[in-house]
Amino acid sequence: MQPRPGVPAEAVVDLAAITHNVGVVRRRVGAAAVMAVVKADAYGHGLVPVARAALAGGATWLGVAHVHEALALREAGVEADVLAWILTPGTDLVPAVRAGVDVSVAAVWALEAVVAAARATGRRARIHLEVDTGMSRGGASPAEWPALLDAVAKHVEAGAVQVRGTWAHFASADVPGDASVPAQLQAFEDALRTAREHGVDPGLRHHANSAAAFFVPSARYDLVRAGLAVYGLSPAPELATGADLGLRPAMTLAARLAHVRRVPAGAGVSYGLTYTVARETTLGLVPVGYGDGVPRHASWNGEHSGEVLVAGARRRIAGRVCMDQVVVDLGNDVAAPGDPALVFGPGADGEATADDWAAAAGTISWEIVTRIGSRVPRRYVGPTGGDVA
């Protein structure tokens, strides 16, 4: 995989891989429907192209965090069911109700805001109720749940809202045998029963993220919300690699060397001169840095760093990741300005993967791909993306 000539760096997104990965999730979850999570610009891959590729793979729902993300899908002509799950006070919900966007409700104030938008538009708002089953992030607490249900029942009765789903989120579905998983499922069952007791039909029940979709069959319910797996990365790398799961990483971050030079033994490299070359060596300059989303935490720390594939081998980063560039140590190998430098990708050519970068930076692969910033142009390949690399 190479960047187009004349482009310092680009993120090549394989839309065929997105479509394929959704198919893998679908087969894994059997009767449950698949919501492809495309928040945060589809984890950095590009909202609209990924949404279309995911729908082509059989996803029937799209999931985003914010209402404005859902509206961007509608503006692009995407008509599939879409759920936005973070509401903040003051957000204008009229466009969302008008556009048939489902919004998540976790508190009475949010319900009232949705009801007001429904009244303003004369349309019934579509809501999903979020209940906290133990993660203590979003969702109504068990103590708040009954009062929220009573308010929901009243507005359903009045025709202002329609409950299309009830959901919660796992804290540790990627940890096999973790006691919180059955505890959260039990709390979810209790919440569903309470909903029915309060006269609220829960609609589609959904609790599973990618990890639960693969590894917790009893958590699949009616719908799974798959994010990371759609992008071809394993949600539990210790348990199974992406390849083990049949997934194909969709993003490759490809650059070209901007500069190549010899330096003598003893030369210090990059800010702080934290890397010193033991003997004469060749350094290559790769024009991506933390301004592009390459994590500064993946700098050389005396033992390891992120690695870039140049001239057939993975090269450590010599010193610190800068805003716009990193320096790699090529030893005595021959390279020239313009040569491809693969930062991460599927690994097929020997390049590092997003998981490798996550390990080098002390983070998770979700963050590696999602952080690749807007300065890096995206290029789409695969059946729905134009040219095939």
Ligand X SMILES: *Cc1c(COP(=O)(O)O)cnc(C)c1O
Instruction: Give catalytic residues, as residue numbers.
Output: 39, 271
- Taking the complex as a whole, the smallest distance from the CB of residue 357 to ligand X amounts, in Å, to 17
Q: Does 166 bind ligand X (CB under 6 A)?
A: no
Torsion, CA 254, CA 259, CA 261, CA 266, rounded to 10 = -80
Q: Does 114 bind ligand X (CB under 6 A)?
A: no
Q: Does 225 bind ligand X (CB under 6 A)?
A: yes
Question: How many Cβ atoms from other residues are within 10 Å of residue 180's Cβ?
Answer: 16
Q: Does 209 bind ligand X (CB under 6 A)?
A: yes
Site string for ligand X, 279-318 (x = CB under 6 A): ----------------------------------------
* Separation in Å, CA 79 to CA 41, 42, 60, 70, 72: 17, 17, 10, 10, 11
- d(Cα 83, Cα 7) in Å, to the nearest integer? 36
Q: Applying CB under 6 A, which of residues 45, 128, 164, 169 lies at the interface with ligand X?
A: 169
Of 70-78, 206-214, 267-275, 326-334, the window that binds ligand X (rule: CB under 6 A) is 206-214
Q: Which of 101, 133, 297 is nearest to 216 (CA)?
A: 133
Of 222-230, 289-297, 302-310, 379-387, the window that binds ligand X (rule: CB under 6 A) is 222-230
- Taking the complex as a whole, the smallest distance from the CB of residue 211 to ligand X amounts, in Å, to 6
Q: Applying CB under 6 A, which of residues 133, 210, 325, 370 lies at the interface with ligand X?
A: 210
Q: Applying CB under 6 A, which of residues 50, 152, 228, 359 lies at the interface with ligand X?
A: 228
* Separation in Å, CA 180 to CA 47, 64, 177: 32, 25, 9
- d(Cα 320, Cα 274) in Å, to the nearest integer? 7
- d(Cα 21, Cα 14) in Å, to the nearest integer? 11
How many H helices and E strands in the chain?
11, 19
Q: Which residue is nearest to ligand X (CB)?
A: 227
Q: Applying CB under 6 A, which of residues 37, 83, 298, 381 lies at the interface with ligand X?
A: 37
- Taking the complex as a whole, the smallest distance from the CB of residue 229 to ligand X amounts, in Å, to 6
Q: Applying CB under 6 A, which of residues 46, 227, 249, 295 lies at the interface with ligand X?
A: 227
Question: How many Cβ atoms from other residues are within 10 Å of residue 337's Cβ?
Answer: 12
Q: Does 237 bind ligand X (CB under 6 A)?
A: no
Residues 185-204 that bind ligand X (CB under 6 A): none
Q: Does 26 bind ligand X (CB under 6 A)?
A: no
Q: Applying CB under 6 A, which of residues 9, 82, 85, 378 lies at the interface with ligand X?
A: 85
- d(Cα 268, Cα 270) in Å, to the nearest integer? 7
- Taking the complex as a whole, the smallest distance from the CB of residue 116 to ligand X amounts, in Å, to 24
CB of 265 closer than 8 Å to CB of 305: no
- d(Cα 245, Cα 157) in Å, to the nearest integer? 45
- d(Cα 75, Cα 327) in Å, to the nearest integer? 41
Binding site for ligand X (CB under 6 A): 37, 39, 85, 169, 209-211, 225-228, 235, 366
